[in-house]
Amino acid sequence: MANYIRARSGEHKEERLNQIKAVTASLFESIPYAELTLTTIAEKLGRSRANLYKYISTKEEIILEIASDKMAAYYNSLLSAFPEGNNFSVEVISEVWAGILNANQDYMRYVSYLNPVIETNVTVERLSVFKKSYYEKANALCDRLSAMLNISSERAYKIQLDVLFFASSNAICCYKNPLVQEALKLIEITPPKMDFYKDMKEFVLMRIQWEKSFSAPLLSGEVSG
C-alpha cells in the first residue's frame, strides 16, 4: 500500500483507485454481494469510508469500473482470436469462443449483476461511459462475426448477446453457492455435474448453426448491417 494518505496528483489518484478496485474485486469473489459494502472495502484498505467518497459514491460504481476492465479483456480476446479475413469453421469458432468464455468466467459473474443491480446505482455519467465502451467493442465483434458467418450485423449481435447471457447464467450457477450446496446435502440431492467449457462449446455451436440455417446468406455485394 502506498505510504501517502491523501492522493493529490492525477497519478496518485489513479493508483488509489486501482487499489480500491483490486480490493473490491477480491471481496466480490470471496463474500456474498449483500455483505460487500463501502465499509468492508474501507476496512480492507485500512482507510475510512469517508476517504472512499473522494473517488466513488457507491460500491456499484467501483464494480462498474472493474466490470469495464474485464469487459475490455473479454472482447479484445475475441477480436484477437478471430482476425479479419479468417476462414474458421463453425466448429473451430465454437471451440475458440468457449475457451475464451472459460478464461473469462469472472467477467461473466459481473455480467449477471450488471442490469439488475450494478447499473441501477451509479451516476448516469459513469454509466454512459461504460455503455459507450460496451457498444464500441460489441459492435466491432459483431462486424467481425458478420463477415465470418456471412450474416447481418444485427443477427451477429443477437448471437453474441445470447452467448453472453447463457455464459453469465452458467458462471453463477446456484450449485456454486455454499449455502445451496449445504441445503442440497441436507436433502440428499446430488445435482448433475457441470462442465462450463463443454457447455459453452455446445451452446455456441448450436447457436451459430441455427442462425446460419435461419438466415439467408448475404448476396454478393450486399452490405451487412
SS3 string, 103-122, reads HCHHHHHHHHHHCCCHHHCC
- CA of 222: how far to CAs of 83, 138, 203, in Å? 22, 22, 29
**pLDDT value at position 216?**
56
Inter-residue contact 127 to 68 (CB < 8 Å): no
**pLDDT value at position 181?**
84
What is d(CA 149, CA 147) in angstroms, rounded to the nearest whole number? 6
The CATH number of the structural domain formed by 58-214 is 1.10.357.10
**pLDDT value at position 217?**
53
Inter-residue contact 100 to 74 (CB < 8 Å): yes
Encoded amino acid at 98, one letter: A
Q: pTM of the full predicted structure?
A: 0.86
| Neighbouring residues of 157: CB distance < 8 A, sequence distance ≥ 6 | 138, 139, 142
C-alpha cell, 155: 443477427
**pLDDT value at position 174?**
59
**pLDDT value at position 223?**
46
| CB-CB neighbours of 20 under 10 Å | 23
Query: pLDDT (tens digit, 0 to 9) for every residue of the chain, 225 residues total?
Result: 444 445 555 677 889 999 999 999 999 998 889 999 999 999 999 999 999 998 999 999 999 999 999 999 999 999 999 999 999 999 999 999 999 999 999 999 999 999 999 999 999 999 999 999 999 999 999 999 999 999 999 999 999 999 999 999 998 875 567 788 889 999 999 888 889 999 999 999 999 999 988 765 544 444 444
**pLDDT value at position 8?**
57
C-alpha cell, 48: 475510512
Angle between helices 196-214 and 124-149 (to 10 degrees): 70
**pLDDT value at position 146?**
97
What is d(CA 79, CA 191) in angstroms, rounded to the nearest whole number? 36
Reduced to 3 states (helix: H, G, I; strand: E, B; else coil), residue 48 is coil
Place of cell 501517502: 4
Span 1-55 CATH architecture: Orthogonal Bundle (1.10)
Show me where the domains of the chain are located: 1-55, 58-214
| CB-CB neighbours of 2 under 10 Å | 9
Inter-residue contact 141 to 75 (CB < 8 Å): yes
Inter-residue contact 165 to 158 (CB < 8 Å): no
What is d(CA 143, CA 156) in angstroms, rounded to the nearest whole number? 8
**pLDDT value at position 3?**
45
| DSSP per-residue string spanning 2-20 | -S-SS--SHHHHHHHHHHH
